[in-house]
Amino acid sequence: MAEQKEKPRKVASMGMVPYEMALGPTWTRFFEGFKEKKILGTKCRKCGRILVPARPFCPRCFEPMEEWVEVAQEGTVVTWSYVNYTYFGVTPDMIPVIGATIKLDGVDCGTGMWTQIGGFDIKDFELVTKKVKVGAKVRAVWRRKRQGNFRDIDYWKIIE
Amino acid sequence: MQKVGIVEVAQSAGTESPLSLMEFTYKPVKEVLDKVGLKRDEVDMYILASTDVFHSGMSCANAFDWDASGAFMKPASREEGDAITAFVYGCMPIMEGRYDTVLVVGLIKGSENPENDTLTSFVADPFYSRPVGIQETTAAAMQMRLYLQRYGITEEQCAKVVAKNLGNALFNPYAHIKKRVSVDDVLNSERICDPLKALECAPKSEGVCAMLLASEEKAKKLTDKPVWFKGWGSSMDTFYLGDRDLLDTQLKTAAASAYKMAGVSNPRKEIDVAEICEPYAFQELLWCEQLGLCAQGQGGKLVDSGVTQITGDLPVNPSGGVLAMNPYVARGLYRVAEATLQIKGKAGEHQVDGKVNTALAHSTYGFCGQWQGVVILGG
């Protein structure tokens, strides 16, 4: 590589391309349940576990999960984090957020992270540390208008 | 099964480089070939690890990677997971006896793309997780909270990992972050994602690492000090955080498999140095437990004891680790390269004190260490 006097330049680039991803019959039914304020899980006929979100097959047993069950809308906080910083795609008006994994009563796994805790002034971190604890009881709070997606649950309210 | 020797390694530094990805990749590859005295077409096979889309942004690995690594018109393959697996894929055809030399390259220019948190949010499934904004840091913070609560690990013990690793990085010419920080500096840094503080999270770095592997006979001809590939294990967990116990990762499985292959029965006694992938400070402690370097829940006491310091009995991340240098995708190959240098006695100012016979290299990717891989090397 030869010596040169110019300062090497950079070229800016922004990629935006459309995708269309199949939700599939299992997850379509799961989100359709949201419209009726129902949280649906699937039960494995082999190991007997009830999983939420619903699955087309049991990941452990690798057998189809064909039995649907409506599950409780209350559960306990497994763990949580307090997201209070910005990065590309997250602007100051979008924070703070309390992300959580919640184990619904009677369900054999946690909810993953499609759950956010709210219903009080979550900007007050002192208050957050008083209210949000591992093991705290929570209940789903639904939006009035529901469209069959994850946003239909507005937030999870601390009830204990 | 043939033995595999690591002949030579070269690394690039982690700070932002004005070179194009092509020029940036060429340099360490050329350095390895020149040190060994091979021409690019004399290498039997090439295995690359890079990323086509999110961590590169150019989506054109085929345009740059092959020419820059010297791999064109040769048997070659590229993978997108972590470069530590490219290392293992490179060992395989030599073990099989098919090839005598394989060049492994991990390459990334982290300075060219947005924050890791933006990019890793795309790793989440688009239906449940991505829309709520989960990414590696928010997931790691949830894992850290469980770790603190279940085992009584303190935030101070986690912060000690940062002070130790960044202290070590001051002596590593390739490290990205060169800054001495105290435990208090870490504890007082911004609580970006409670309980995680800003200084407990790895940066994003440039990084090309090139490594020449050879069969036993060839390795002995090409170098007076080959480092031998002894063992390997990996395991992948399910994606959903709710389906897992976040403190019981697949690292135990990966480590057990690597130790069995390498004939390691007491890792705490037999491993002389460990290069561990700790994108978040507390993970070094948790991973040490799961690697069997201390008992479950004792990661905090391990760092308190000083044993993992560069001067300790079991130095962990004498290079500064991923907290000091985080070339995503390539970072696993950096761990192998650093473990190699320690065995060769060529780590320079961050060479550990005692003789290194056996070294461990670890890497991980995915939320809360979804994927885990362990390599054991011997002198």
**What's the total number of domains in chain A?**
1
The kind and range of the H/E element at B227 are: strand B227-236
Q: What is the pLDDT of residue B62?
A: 85
CA distances from B276 to A160, B303, B314, B335 (A): 40, 14, 12, 7
Q: Answer yes or no: is pLDDT of B53 > 90.
A: no
Q: What is the pLDDT of residue A14?
A: 82
Q: What is the pLDDT of residue B359?
A: 98
Instruction: State the fold for domain B4-114+205-222.
Output: Peroxisomal Thiolase; Chain A, domain 1 (3.40.47)
Q: How far is A72 from chain B (nearest CA, A)?
A: 16
Q: What is the pLDDT of residue B295?
A: 98
Nearest 10 degrees: Cα torsion B59, B62, B64, B65: 110
Which of B57, B128, B191 is facing A150, going by the closest CB pair? B128
Q: B residues 310-339 near A, CB within 8 Å?
A: none
> Omega before A56 cis (within 30°)?
no
Q: Which residues of A touch B237 (CB under 8 A)?
A: none
- With 0-12 CB in 10 A as exposed, 13-18 as middle and 19+ as buried, what is A105? exposed
Compute the distance between CA of residue B122 and CA of residue B66 in angstroms, rounded to an integer: 26
Mean pLDDT, to the nearest integer, of B264-279?
98
Q: Tell me the per-residue pLDDT of B113-160, one tens digit each, with 9 for 90 and over.
A: 889 999 898 888 888 887 777 899 999 999 999 999 999 999 999 999
HSE-up (13 A, CA, CB side) for residue B266: 3
Q: Tell me the per-residue pLDDT of B291-335, one tens digit each, with 9 for 90 and over.
A: 999 999 999 999 999 999 999 999 999 999 999 999 999 999 999
Grade residue B58 by pLDDT with cuts at 50, 70 and 90.
Answer: low
A149/B132 Cβ within 8 A: no
Q: Tell me the per-residue pLDDT of B164-180, one tens digit each, with 9 for 90 and over.
A: 999 999 999 999 999 99
* Report field, pTM of the whole predicted structure over 0.80: yes
Q: Tell me the per-residue pLDDT of A93-110, one tens digit each, with 9 for 90 and over.
A: 999 999 999 999 999 998
Q: What is the pLDDT of residue B128?
A: 80
Q: What is the pLDDT of residue B126?
A: 83
Q: What is the pLDDT of residue B133?
A: 76
Radius of gyration of chain A from Cα atoms?
Answer: 21
CB contact A47 to B (< 8 Å): no
CB contact A109 to B (< 8 Å): yes
Grade residue A15 by pLDDT with cuts at 50, 70 and 90.
Answer: confident
Q: What is the pLDDT of residue A4?
A: 76
Q: How far is A121 from chain B (nearest CA, A)?
A: 17
User: For chain B, what is the mean pLDDT?
Assistant: 95
Q: What is the pLDDT of residue B57?
A: 65
B57/A111 Cβ within 8 A: no
Grade residue B233 by pLDDT with cuts at 50, 70 and 90.
Answer: very high
> Hey, which residues does A80 pair with through a beta bridge?
A100
Compute the distance between CA of residue B270 and CA of residue B280 in angstroms, rounded to an integer: 26
Q: What is the pLDDT of residue A111?
A: 81
CB contact B170 to A (< 8 Å): no
Compute the distance between CA of residue B266 and CA of residue A100 in angstroms, rounded to an integer: 38
Which of B142, B193, B243 is facing A85, going by the closest CB pair? B193
- The full DSSP string for B255-323 is HHHHHHHHT-S-HHHH--EEE---SBHHHHHHHHHHTTSS-TT-HHHHHHHTTTSTTSSS-B-TT-HHH
Q: Tell me the per-residue pLDDT of A108-136, one tens digit each, with 9 for 90 and over.
A: 998 865 689 999 999 999 999 999 999 99
| Range with lowest mean pLDDT among A15-19, B83-87, B246-250 | A15-19
> Omega before B195 cis (within 30°)?
yes
Grade residue B357 by pLDDT with cuts at 50, 70 and 90.
Answer: very high
A80/B193 Cβ within 8 A: no
What is the separation of C-alpha B133 from the centre of its chain, rounded to a whole number of angstroms?
26
Instruction: Map out the domains of chain B as residue ranges.
Output: 4-114+205-222
* Contact indicator for B358, B378 with CB cutoff of 8 Å: yes
Q: What is the pLDDT of residue B51?
A: 85
Q: What is the pLDDT of residue A107?
A: 94
Q: How far is A110 from chain B (nearest CA, A)?
A: 4
User: For chain A, what is the mean pLDDT?
Assistant: 93
Q: Which residues of A touch B194 (CB under 8 A)?
A: 81-82, 84, 125
What's the complex ipTM? 0.94
> What do you get for the CA distance between the two ends of chain B, in Å?
18
From the CB of residue B228, how many other CB atoms can be counted at a distance below 10 Å? 16
Q: Answer yes or no: is pLDDT of B50 > 70.
A: yes
> Is residue A103 domain-resident?
yes
Grade residue B55 by pLDDT with cuts at 50, 70 and 90.
Answer: confident
Q: Answer yes or no: is pLDDT of B30 > 60.
A: yes
Structural domain boundaries enclosing A120: 24-158
Q: Tell me the per-residue pLDDT of B218-229, one tens digit each, with 9 for 90 and over.
A: 999 999 999 999
> Omega before A53 cis (within 30°)?
yes
Q: What are A60's two structure tokens? A: 């452990």
- The full DSSP string for B61-115 is HHHHHHHHHT-TTS-EEEESS-HHHHHHHHHHHHHTTS-SEEEEEEEEEGGGS--
CB contact B21 to A (< 8 Å): no
Q: Tell me the per-residue pLDDT of B86-97, one tens digit each, with 9 for 90 and over.
A: 999 999 999 999
> Hey, which residues does A155 pair with through a beta bridge?
A141
3-state helix, strand, coil in chain B (%, to 5): 40, 20, 40
Which of B196, B240, B246 is facing A79, going by the closest CB pair? B246
Q: What is the pLDDT of residue A157?
A: 96
* Contact indicator for B5, B219 with CB cutoff of 8 Å: yes
